[in-house]
Each structure stands twice: as structure tokens, then as C-alpha cells.
């Protein structure tokens, strides 16, 4: 089985999703799969996250489901039990790093400063989430933060404030593994059943990422 972060690197895009009702999980998974984007970060910002992941694992196992907003041990345990294949957090917390290691859950903590990144490097973490990417200073800030660590082969998943229009600014950076996008499957689109729109956005994101990667090759 392909490592989840390898699959994410190939795609270049991770939809970041807050789902309010687990009954919508399969329709959401189908919309993403139809759009050529077989991955989803289901965030623990809602009570439906664990059940949504469980349903996707059972009925659409071809979709690589991950857990976002891991802020406590209970969320990490629930994510693993529900079938999450990777985890992310908005910040760096050694308690969460430990919990993910205990549960054998590939994990990318959030970083925004060189100090955050230093802590991740000390724990031998090589994939991190740059968050919130937009207000943290954009691609130029990431270049500056990464520079002292370039020899450590750190890869980033910038998330927060990225759009289809700015996707290329990030993916053109060699240290960027993929970007996280909240615009692809918005909570209100899931709630209102706009799954064709989610498919359209997923397809557009994948195609845009492929174009950037081809130009950078």
C-alpha cells in the first residue's frame, strides 16, 4: 500500500473538509473520486468527523482519508479507530506527536515559525503543515523559514487562505509536498448537496496542480 503522504505528493492537493452530518460522507467521497482527487482531510472541527471517516473507510476504501485538527489524545485515538491513514494539526504539540507515534499514524504537525520547525526537526518529522499559510506571509515567508532547514529535506503542506488561483504560487516551490484547500468541498456545499460543484472544483484543482508540476519538472 502506498504511503499516504507519497500519494498526496503525487496529487499535489488535499481537500480540507469540515462535515456536519456523516450521512453525507459517501456522496462527498464519490464527488472527490469522480473529480480525480482520491484523498480527503476530514477535520475534527465537527462531531461528525469520526463517523464520516468510518463510513468512507467501509464503503469507499479507495479514498485516502486523513484526520485534521488533531488537538488531543482522544481525537488521535478516534481518528485511528475510524480508519484515518494520516493526521495533521494546526500547530506543534509534543503530546499529539507522541500519540500519533503510539497509534502508528503518519502525522504532519502545523508550523508557522522557525522555532516551530526546529521542534519538529528534533522529533525527526520531515513533513509539516505550514499554517495559516496566507496570513503567515505567503510563499515568500515559507522560503525564508525553510532556508535554514533546506539541508534537512523538510516538505511542507501549506494550508489556509490558498485558492485555485494561488495554488501554483505554492506548488512551484520545491519544498512543497502539496497544498491544503478548503475551497474544494465547503461545508455549505456538502450540506446543500452541491456534489457536482465539489467534483468540478476537485477536477480543476487536480488539473491545475498537474500543470504546475509539469512546468516545474
- The residues that are catalytic are 41, 129
Please give the angle made by the CA atoms of 6, 8 and 9, to the nearest 5 degrees. Answer: 65
Question: What does the alpha-carbon distance between residue 167 and residue 46 come to, in Å, rounded to a whole number?
Answer: 26
Q: How far apart are CA 192 and CA 204, in angstroms?
A: 21
All residues at 6 or more sequence positions from 153 whose CB lies less than 8 Å from its CB, including other chains: 126
Rg (CA), the chain: 16
User: Which cell goes with 165?
Assistant: 488561483
d(CA 199, CA 216): 26
Q: How far is CA 164 from the centre of its chain?
A: 15
Q: What is the DSSP string of 103-145?
A: TT--EE-EE-SHHHHHHHHHTT--EEEETTTTTTTHHHHHHHH
Grid coordinates representing 140 are: 515568500
Amino acid at each position: 500500500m502506498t504511503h499516504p503522504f507519497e500519494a498526496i505528493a503525487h496529487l499535489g492537493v488535499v481537500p480540507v473538509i469540515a462535515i456536519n452530518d456523516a450521512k453525507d460522507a459517501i456522496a462527498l467521497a464519490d464527488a472527490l473520486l469522480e473529480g480525480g482527487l482520491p484523498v480527503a482531510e476530514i477535520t475534527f472541527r465537527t462531531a461528525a468527523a469520526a463517523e464520516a471517516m468510518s463510513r468512507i473507510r467501509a464503503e469507499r476504501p479507495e479514498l485516502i482519508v486523513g484526520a485534521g485538527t488533531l488537538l488531543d489524545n482522544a481525537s488521535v485515538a478516534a481518528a485511528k479507530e475510524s480508519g484515518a491513514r494520516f493526521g495533521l494539526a494546526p500547530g506543534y504539540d509534543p503530546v499529539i506527536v507522541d500519540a500519533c507515534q503510539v497509534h502508528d499514524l503518519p502525522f504532519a504537525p502545523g508550523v508557522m515559525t522557525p522555532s516551530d520547525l526546529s521542534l519538529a526537526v528534533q522529533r525527526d518529522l520531515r513533513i509539516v503543515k505550514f499554517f495559516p499559510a496566507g496570513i503567515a506571509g505567503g510563499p515568500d515567508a515559507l522560503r525564508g523559514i525553510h532556508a535554514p532547514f533546506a539541508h534537512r529535506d523538510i516538505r511542507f503542506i501549506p494550508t489556509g487562505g490558498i485558492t485555485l488561483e494561488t495554488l501554483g504560487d505554492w506548488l512551484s516551490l520545491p519544498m512543497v509536498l502539496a497544498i491544503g484547500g478548503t475551497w474544494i468541498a465547503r461545508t455549505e456545499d456538502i450540506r446543500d448537496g452541491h456534489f457536482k460543484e465539489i467534483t468540478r472544483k476537485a477536477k480543476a484543482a487536480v488539473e491545475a496542480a498537474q500543470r504546475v508540476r509539469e512546468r516545474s519538472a
